[in-house]
Amino acid sequence: MYSAPFWYHWVYNLSEPALYAACLLATTLLALLVGLALTAVRRYAGDRQASSFPPGLVTAIALPTSLVIGLMASDVSRRYNEAQDNVMQEARTVATLQHALTELPATASAALQEELAHYVTQDLSREWEQLQRAQVPLGLSPALIRIGVGLAALQPARATRVVGDGVVENIQAQLRELQRLRTQRSQLALGKMDNPQWMIVAVLLLCCAAVMIEVTVHHRRNRIMAMTLFVFSYGSLVYMIATNDRPFSGGVSVTPEPIARIFTQQQAVLPNLSR
């Protein structure tokens, strides 16, 4: 079961520049702690000789570390793109539903379009507030429920052929698709990186920093250069993971703006829409 790290709520209240700086600072502190630990071990053992580690060991450790963390960052970025695509599909579904409602009788059409407007302007805002806190909105929104109830009330009109069966079935199909997309959006909002995965990232970074520091012992310039590259390269990967893991939270987040925009655009051009 997914278990969000305890520090996630703090992270997603930061601005993107502050989050990037925090990731760089975290990798810097890790490198400093490893360096201090290795220095203490050497002094305790009375070892003043240069490291006997072959330089190729850096590649043997750094390459798998980079691949694993890079794959994690890629997977998280893919889920972020999936969240964006999901919202765009929601926008298209809302537009299709909005158009289908205009095919109902005028009174029913106006009432159900008003409920759809309530969903776009109010229900979605409340859902996004929950998504930003990594909470899962459960069930249908009140507005979508009322649209379903309104369709059920059209049963007499369907029996007398005032409303075609195909029109109502199309609207019901769009409601089901909208619910499927909402459920999928909630699942994506939870993120992917849990505590064990972040622990793996930390251990990999620790091992990589230890090897780089040990190989460059007694070579001050090389150590500074190696640690600078370590901090900026791995700090950037950690930032990519952190900023994209919860796609509906943080400074770079997926918003409901495409849904609201396409609804407003169609509201201006489709006939019989409630104003």
Domain positions in the chain: 13-269
Cβ atoms of 69 and 204 closer than 8 Å: yes
Q: Is the pLDDT of residue 160 over 70?
A: no
Q: What is the per-residue pLDDT across 118-154, written as a single tens digit (0 to 9) for each?
A: 999 999 988 888 888 777 766 678 888 888 888 777 6
CA 22 to mean position of chain CA atoms: 19
SS3 of 70-105: the string is: HHHHHHHHHHHHHHHHHHHHHHHHHHHHHHHHCCCC
Arithmetic mean of pLDDT, 97-111: 85
pLDDT of residue 159: 46
- In whole angstroms, give the CA distance from residue 183 to residue 201: 30
- In whole angstroms, give the CA distance from residue 31 to residue 29: 5
Cβ atoms of 245 and 76 closer than 8 Å: yes
Give the chain's end-to-end CA distance (angstroms, integer).
45
Residue type at position 117:
A
Cβ atoms of 240 and 218 closer than 8 Å: no
140-160 b/e with 16+ CB inside 10 Å = b?
bbebbebbbebbeebeeeeee
Q: How confident is the model at residue 271 (pLDDT cuts 50, 70, 90)?
A: low
Q: Both tokens of residue 141?
A: 């929104």
Which one is predicted more confidently, 238 or 105?
238
Q: How confident is the model at residue 27 (pLDDT cuts 50, 70, 90)?
A: very high
User: What residue has token string 């029109």?
Assistant: 167
Q: What is the enclosing helix (H) or strand (E) of 259?
A: helix 257-269
- In whole angstroms, give the CA distance from residue 227 to residue 71: 22
Q: What is the per-residue pLDDT across 74-96, written as a single tens digit (0 to 9) for each?
A: 999 999 999 999 999 999 999 99
Residue 15, CA distances (Å) to 18, 76, 121, 271 in order = 5, 19, 26, 43
Cβ neighbours of 57 (radius 10 Å): 14
Any idea of the CA torsion for 163, 164, 165, 168, to the nearest 10 degrees?
Answer: -60
User: What residue has token string 């599909």?
Assistant: 89
- In whole angstroms, give the CA distance from residue 212 to residue 233: 14
pLDDT of residue 133: 75
